[in-house]
Amino acid sequence: MSRPEPFPADFVFGAASSAYQIEGSPLADGAGPSIWHEFVRRPGVIDDGSSGDVACDHYHRYGDDIGIMRQLGLPAYRFSVSWSRIFPDGTGRINGPGLDFYRRLIDGLRQAGIEPYLTLYHWDLPAALDRRGGWFARDSAGWFADYAHTLFRALGDSVSHWMTLNEPWVVNDGGYLFGVHAPGRQSLQEPPRVAHNLLRAHALAVQAFRADGNGRIGLVVNLEPKYRESDSDADRIATDRAHAYMNRQYLDPVLLGHYPDELADIFAPHWPEFSSEDMKLLQEPFDFLGVNYYTRSVNRADPSHVIGAVPVRQSGAEYTEMGWEVYPQGLTETLLWIKRRYGDIPLYITENGAALADPAPVAGHIQDDHRIAYYRSHLRAVLDAMAQGANVKGYFAWSLLDNFEWSCGYTKRFGLVHVDYATQKRTPKASAEFYRKVIASRGAVLFS
């Protein structure tokens, strides 16, 4: 195959983060608690017993962090807004100082020439709304649309790229089915309605945006190609179910107008009939799809598992500290699969990166060659997909900073920039310098 062209001039490079993972000071300036603020206080749920109480202290150090982004030459930055900073009770009263924090952040980004990409929901539901049923409550879609509408009005003059939900699959799988994430529910009955309410929330927010917003709005999903361990019928059926559950559950309804049949099977007898009005609402057109890509999985049938499939480790393959296989060609396949199945919707890679054991600093220098290799291979995989017709508009590295990795606490480091949590000192790793060169050369350095 001939060498693909490096990235086009209008391709957007950035780095991504989320509020609870980096900000710290979760109750500052009148904010209400989120479900993560409460969840981390349960004994045993976070590997190192930590919380996001301080995290990277970005709430106070955002100015320095913008300075780091500028040094890296980042054209764009994806971050999320913490809903309970804006609405401490989830609905009703607006907390001005919470909004002011994001105004300061966005103004700082703009002054540095960095384009803000704003995610409305990255998992930190106001705890007050969980007490009203959380995403299982049908009203949750309206609560979210009101919150979104408030931000469109308050920040719409300075933000032109918006994302509704980050990874609804993880919200539901971690939060409502297995309970390893906030709010820690373990239910077979709730997930079908949670999925549906999340997508109704997304669609109502897009409608509010059309009425009262500027720019472009999209949905962010995590996708993971599903392979089968063998060609047995059992492995084939199990792998199809895993694929329907993870990759199609949130895309088929919004882009094709129906849920995958496999879900009724998986969740029997709890899968409801949804009204045709609802199904029509879910198809509200949006402007782009954000794809978070980390790995693939190879599946084996296992009837004792809810979904009926379990992932199997591949001998000889490389795995990150998360136990995720390094599989760059899966990103190419995923991007092309979206185009084949759903059409030519503009795509952004909204997250991609790796938690790896970084070498110790030598004279303040962290030579994380394995992370450089990960970025190199995955950025090349994006180029491969584009050369084959995928409509990819941008790429965001996960993550700018080492941060609070949910149930793993601070035990996993995804950052381009190392954070010493005792001192809050930031040290760009060698991968940050590599990414700076990728951006500056529009990808040419990937081939040198």
DSSP secondary structure, 383-444, as one string: HHHHHTT--EEEEEEE-SB----GGGTTS----SEEEETTTTEEEE-HHHHHHHHHHHTTTG
Q: Considering 190, 229, 351, 405, which one is annotated as catalytic?
A: 351
What DSSP designation does 447 have?
Answer: G
Q: Is 351 a catalytic residue?
A: yes
- Decide whether 213 or 415 has the Cβ nearer to ligand FCB: 415
- Decide whether 167 or 368 has the Cβ nearer to ligand FCB: 167
- Cα 111 to chain centroid distance, Å, stands at 26
- Minimum distance of ligand FCB from residue 353's CB (angstroms): 7
What DSSP designation does 245 have?
Answer: I
- Minimum distance of ligand FCB from residue 167's CB (angstroms): 5
- Minimum distance of ligand FCB from residue 322's CB (angstroms): 7
**CA-to-CA distance for 361 and 423, rounded, in angstroms?**
15
Q: Is 167 a catalytic residue?
A: yes
CB atoms within 10 A of CB 126: 27
- Minimum distance of ligand FCB from residue 183's CB (angstroms): 17
Burial (CB count <10 Å: 0-12, 13-18, 19+), residue 393: middle
Please provide residue 428's backbone torsions phi and psi, each rounded to the nearest 5 degrees. Answer: -60, 135
C-alpha to C-alpha distances, 294 to 223, 320, 353, 375, nearest whole angstrom: 8, 10, 6, 11
**CA-to-CA distance for 258 and 191, rounded, in angstroms?**
17
- Decide whether 204 or 246 has the Cβ nearer to ligand FCB: 246
- Minimum distance of ligand FCB from residue 172's CB (angstroms): 13
- Minimum distance of ligand FCB from residue 350's CB (angstroms): 8
DSSP secondary structure, 155-212, as one string: HTTT--EEEEEE-HHHHHIIIIIS-SSTT----SSSHHHHHHHHHHHHHHHHHHHHHH
Give contact residues for ligand FCB (rule: CB under 6 A).
Answer: 18, 21, 166-167, 170, 222, 292, 351, 398, 405-406, 414
Per the listing, tokens 């965001």 go with 396
Bridge partners (DSSP) of residue 362 are: 365
- Decide whether 145 or 165 has the Cβ nearer to ligand FCB: 165
- Decide whether 274 or 398 has the Cβ nearer to ligand FCB: 398
- Decide whether 167 or 252 has the Cβ nearer to ligand FCB: 167
- Decide whether 197 or 222 has the Cβ nearer to ligand FCB: 222
> Token pair of 360, please?
């110790």
Q: How many residues does the chain have?
A: 448
Q: Considering 23, 167, 190, 262, which one is annotated as catalytic?
A: 167
Which residues are marked as active site? 167, 351
